[in-house]
Amino acid sequence: MRKVAGVLFWAVMIVAPIALTAVGLAGLPAGTESIPLQVGFDGEVSRSGAPSELWVLGGIMAGCNALLGLCYRFNDVLYDHGLVHGVSRKGALVAYSLCALFLVAVTVWAYWFLLSKVP
């Protein structure tokens, strides 16, 4: 049962950024041709682009979570080859999981922040 939960967790972490991208793009008003893609420290939009450019962000986040999932799966191999330092074997598994959750949270925040600036 624990193995199934782990596989399900990583599947959700990998699919979530892609699903969030689809939901974010579906929530845009019809006919939206440009959305903010970069916002400066002053809160002003410094770069706009086509809504389809959000797929790049979703893909990068999904790819990072896929790599974290592989690290989770092959943690013992990484540990045995000296590629994991300063944390126990179980601690590394927790770190991979927390990093994946953080990336999904960043994706949610980025879409909320950027899409809230759509006129």
pLDDT for 86? 87
pLDDT tens, 24-34?
A: 888 888 888 88
Per DSSP, the residues of 16-57 read HHHHHHHHHHHTSPTT---EEEEE-TTS-EEEEE-GGGHHHH
Give me the number of domains the chain comprises: 1
pLDDT tens, 53-98?
A: 889 989 999 999 999 999 999 999 999 999 998 899 999 999 999 9
Report the share of the chain in percent with pLDDT over 70: 99
Q: Which domain holds residue 39?
A: 2-115
